[in-house]
A and B are shown apart, each in its own frame.
Chain A
Amino acid sequence: MARFHNLTVTDIHKTIRDAVVVTLKPDDASAFDFTQGQYLTFRRNFDGEELRRSYSICAGKDEGILQVGIKRVDEGAFSTWANTELQEGDTIEAMEPMGSFFLPLDAGATRNYLGFAGGSGITPVLSIIKTTLAREPHSQFTLVYANKAVNTIMFREELEDLKNHFMGRFNVIHILESDAQEIDLFTGLVDEAKCAQLFKHWIDIKSVDTAFICGPEPMMLGIAKALRDHGLDDSQIKFELFASAQPGRAKRKASGKAKAATKGTQAVITLDGASRTITMDADTSILDAALANDMDAPFACKAGVCSTCRCKVTSGEVEMVANHALEDYEVEQGYVLSCQSFAITDKVTVDYDQ
């Protein structure tokens, strides 16, 4: 299983008013040999509660550094902390790079790539662009980059530098939601219709081998539809979605005094929006009790290994006899493996929908 490592912040600077670029030096460099387009998952305690957030690497493979971009989101505890408090010299914890938002590169290939980025969705795409242009000297890359206004464009200068450095092989089309530009086409949202217009005169879609998309949900849907309508198949479209809704701050479990259930336990089990109340004994797992009552509860291994049967205990207490899959922070939030959990209070309430 992936585990957390310590990294030291060696540089942190703003790229726009509310986004920072953080350069990191891992204690164990070999664990952070990333592939372009991958992300890091960080963890940090906020008021005694662990939060985990994933941010994409923006550095290219050949820059010899590990760098992520973090845009501040409203009410986002982690991104606000990174933008206001994190400093050079601080230590931060992250898991090894993960994600499959990339394509294997081939130095001999002559390919035509198309990238779409919305706002901070530029971070993994930037890593892909830098690495691809450096390692596939015959390939070309076109980036369609959507932002609210000129002053919210992350990495604007860096992209200009790339254009000059890889003269003729890299092209950027900035689409701005609110700032008017000389060409009407470049104002507004990047949606299905906008793509269709771009494909008419500005981008030779028939020559595109692979497209990368990273942005908010509606933008991804519109672009993917336009790409499919213009002949790309699913294997040619690579997605990365970091929904604005990375799960919010978890609520603490109300803690109650545990006592062994003697007679039957009354269990309220929520699944797919419906709650059922059943009576179960102390020797039956929550999962088996749900299954015995014809509830279609999820499970696979029944051995506490795979975590398919994860549910959340929202009241009462259970004893989880084995756990090879959930991590401490999940357990603290009230998650249990229902195949390994037995009621120890007279009443328990569990929820498979959370």
Chain B
Amino acid sequence: MSDMKIEDYLAQGGKLSNPSNVPARYRAELMRLMATFVDSELAGAAGFADVINAGPGIKERIAAAKIVLEKTDNADKVLTIMGDFGANTAKYATHHPWTDRLARDADIGTARNDADMRLAVFNYPLEGWADAVVMNLLMGLAVGVQLDEFARVSYAPLADAFRAIAPVEARHAELATEGLERLDDAPLQASVDYWWPRVAASFGKDISTRASQLQAFGLRHSTNAELREEWEATAAQALENLGLNAPKG
């Protein structure tokens, strides 16, 4: 057969398709990437579950419940792939209190908390319905940008999963927009100002120590800064359409 090393194959854009031949470091980075997604979805769904009953009407509550359901389902799709690598999927889903949040004014930058891999933004608490919908819009658009990127990962089953998840998450951002259009007299700008820098931080630091390795593994293609700038442009436009403003700087 071939004498090509897997690392060279990956560096040239090759795809892997099953756990039997992934290199150890690739496996670890892939697991970390998947855990970040799963933990963020589970923490996001858990946080949103708490605000379902704060919805001002039955349509809003249905939308919120649907988002909780589908984010949990999206977590399951990726967790199943972690299971192919040996993760205990049943224990994983319940081993951790996903509703845990820090204080609203905690300032953790891009840091993760000690016990899970959720993106930093999912460590902040939602404050009521309007705040939750603003967060859902900004983060929903961020997830859209991130899924475009991650649908290109070199582990083909995960790329397939992300391609299936992307339209579901895109719909969540649309639901958020529709929700905000019905909330025009609420003090939304304060929530935008609060969540904007925190969602921006979820793209990671501009200088990442792992970037070159992730690139060589085919697990990343764009830089953190490129993705964040793409989100900033999309989100600023979405806010403008709603009569809101993206914070400066």
Contact = CB atoms under 8 A, between A and B. Distances in A.
Interface of A: 1-2, 39, 41, 52-54, 73, 98-101, 119, 216-221, 224-225, 234-235, 238-247, 272, 296, 298-303, 305-310, 312, 324-327, 330, 352-354
What bracket does the count of chain B residues touching chain A fall in? 35 or more
B18 A39 contact: yes
B86 A326 contact: yes
Contacts of B210: 296
Contact of A101 (B9, B17, B114): B17
Given A306-B92, A324-B91, A217 B18 contact: no
Given A218-B2, A247-B21, 8 more contacts: A53-B20, A54-B18, A100-B156, A220-B9, A221-B12, A300-B31, A301-B35, A302-B114
28 contacts: A53-B20, A99-B157, A100-B157, A221-B9, A221-B14, A234-B152, A235-B151, A235-B160, A240-B18, A241-B14, A241-B15, A241-B21, A245-B21, A272-B213, A299-B32, A302-B114, A303-B91, A305-B88, A305-B92, A307-B86, A308-B31, A308-B32, A310-B24, A310-B28, A324-B88, A330-B86, A353-B24, A353-B25
Given A1-B89, A307-B31, A308-B31, A220 B25 contact: no
A306 B163 CA distance: 23
B35 A306 contact: yes
**Chain A binding surface, main DSSP class:** loop
B92 A301 contact: yes
Contacts of B160: 100, 235
Contacts of B159: 234
B47 to A, nearest CB: 19
A298 B213 CA distance: 13
A244 B86 contact: no
Interface string B103-116: 00000000000111
B171 interface: no
A56 B160 CA distance: 19
B59 interface: no
B112 to A, nearest CB: 10
A305 B93 CA distance: 10
B6 A245 contact: yes
A247 B6 CA distance: 11
A302 B84 contact: no
Contacts of B24: 310, 312, 352-354
B12 A305 contact: no
- Best-surrounded residue of A238, A307, A308 (most CB of chain B within 10 A): A308
B31 A98 contact: no
Given A216-B4, A242-B20, A352 B28 contact: yes
